[in-house]
Amino acid sequence: MKPFNWIGTNTAVKPAILRSSGYAAFSAAMLFVLHHLPVNQLFIDPFSEAIKGYDLMDIAISRFRDHHLPELYDDRVAIVNTGVTDRSDLACVLEQLSEQDVAAIGLDLLLDTFYHTPEDSLLRDAVAISPNLVFGYTFREDPHLEEVVAELRTHIFFCSGRDSAYVNLATNDGFSVRAFEPYKIMGGQTKPAFSVALATRYDAAVENSLKARKQAKEWINFKRKQPGPRNMVYPVNSMQLRHYSMLDIKDIMDGSVRVDDGSLRGKIVLLGFCGEHPAAFSMNDRYYTPLNEKYSGRSLPDMHGVVVHANIVSMLIDRDFIDEVGDAMVYGMVFLLLLFNYFCFEKLKGRNLYGSLPFARMLQFLEFCLVLGMSIYLLAAFDVKLGFVIPAVAIALSHELYEFYERRLPACLAWLKHWLSRLLRFMTQSPAAG
């Protein structure tokens, strides 16, 4: 065999490579356009619409992580259930905490009404001696003015001169929480989230870490379940795990639990609602999270808002972020998948429909399982979130896009060329010739 004879044979492969690359690029471009169209996508992208209320985080975090690891217990954060807010009790607890040199106190309560009572004065005096106290407030985004404005906040009588931060969570439906926004621009100023404000008081380097990541939205790396005796049930915490120390304000007031013994020194203390009393299973201020043990068809939300903030604080202090694979890499993976599928479909081209279609569907099913498993594994083991919807839709539509590209696209291009040439002739002909 003469040297370099392979060059002559490989020249026949070049058209196939060009054609397969054209198919992969065309299909990826179609998926990009359909996914980003600013219209109701139900008729063009039913798969995305069907699973938009779900996320692989729910499966990866609830089913494929070990929640029994002893290092998950975070003694840097303590939670106080305030129950039905009694302002005199709250004032007393704040006074005790201020004497214990805690790192930060987060008040996840909106005291938006001033009743002109002695209890209000007691609470104001307690706030005055609590230098590390952070109040929470909510914001709303005005779609008409295209700006973010504070909405509900504690009355100025209590929080005058005190730090405050927003408690909003990045939730699409108001019930499911998977992410939060570390910073928000309000009135031309950058405002921190509630958990960010607390974490930076414990570790000032948290702010630099967040700003270096340059993420407008951070996925919450949920690892610690809802505490409390009434929550040790399915689907909240059936394994009865204790990841945070939770105290009840009534137990502190009656002396059965002490906070003036130095046990909270140097810690972050979050005060918020976790039920009217320890035996209550309240639905108020409660959310679905990826730690919910029933990740599909969920019926009971599993975590109170103050515990969500505690999870974010733990994540920030540990720098335990979830890194998301960028769109460029996702579409690159889609391109390679489509390229591979093109050659597979070409091998099946000589068969009839009933002979080729089952093999094509089997290939798509195997690829779907592979991408699903890889997405779950990356998130559960390495805290890397790979977007699943775009690759899944690409796999599901790959055969139909192949049929269109091979059989319909040439005719469509010929039709388009014909009408464009007619339009061009019409536009370039002189008036006299008309």
Q: Distance between CA 374 and CA 377 in Å, rounded?
A: 5
More confident residue, 410 or 87: 87
| 326 vs 186: CA distance, rounded Å | 28
- Residue 39: pLDDT band (50, 70, 90) is low
Residue 9: its pLDDT value, please?
46
Stretch 8-13: mean pLDDT: 49
Q: Is 204 exposed, middle or buried (0-12, 13-18, 19+ CB in 10 A)?
A: exposed
Does residue 100 contact residue 259 with C-beta atoms inside 8 Å? yes
Domain range list for the chain: 19-50+324-426, 66-321
Position 148 scores a pLDDT of 86
pTM of the predicted protein model: 0.88
What torsion, rounded to 10 degrees, do the Cα atoms 155, 105, 73, 182 define?
Answer: 60
The number of angstroms, rounded, from the C-alpha of 57 to the middle of its chain's C-alpha atoms is 8
- Residue 137 to residue 164: CA distance in whole angstroms: 7
What is the pLDDT at residue 351? 66
Report the residue count for the chain.
434
Q: Given a cut of 60, is residue 51 above it in pLDDT?
A: no
pLDDT of residue 7 exceeding 60: no
Among residues 107, 322, 276, 302, the alpha carbon closest in space to that of 224 is found at 302
* 3 band by pLDDT with thresholds 50, 70 and 90: very low
Residue 367 has a pLDDT of 96
Structure tokens at 354: 């009933």
* 114 band by pLDDT with thresholds 50, 70 and 90: very high
Which pLDDT band, with edges at 50, 70 and 90, does 46 fall under? low
Q: What's the mean pLDDT when you consider all of the chain?
A: 88
**pLDDT bracket for residue 62 (50, 70, 90):** very high
Grade residue 106 by pLDDT with cuts at 50, 70 and 90: very high
- The answer to which of 7-21, 142-156, 206-220 has the lowest mean pLDDT is 7-21
Residue 424 banded pLDDT, cuts 50, 70, 90: confident
| Token couple for 90 | 């709250």
CA dihedral 343, 348, 353, 356 (to 10 degrees): -100
Annotate 355-407 with DSSP letters as a single string. Answer: HHHHHHHHHHHHHHHHHHHHHHHHHHHH-EE---HHHHHHHHHHHHHHHIIII
**At 412, is the pLDDT very low, low, confident or very high (cuts 50, 70, 90)?**
confident
Closest CA to 313 of 237, 206, 236: 206
Q: What is the mean pLDDT of residues 149-163?
A: 91
Q: Is 332 left (phi over 0), alpha (psi -120 to 50) or beta?
A: alpha
pLDDT value, residue 408:
82
Q: Among 3-7, 179-183, 359-363, 380-384, whose mean pLDDT is lowest? A: 3-7
14 compared with 200, residue with greater pLDDT: 200
* Nearest one of 290, 287, 314 to 302, comparing CA atoms: 287
Residue 102 is predicted with a pLDDT of: 96
CB-CB neighbours of 84 under 10 Å: 13
What would the pLDDT profile of 318-334 be if each residue is shown by its tens digit? 999 999 999 999 999 99
- Say if residue 1's pLDDT is above 50: no
pLDDT at 432: 52
Residues near 207 by beta carbon (within 8 Å), at least 6 away in sequence: 192, 196, 200
Mean pLDDT of 392-403: 92
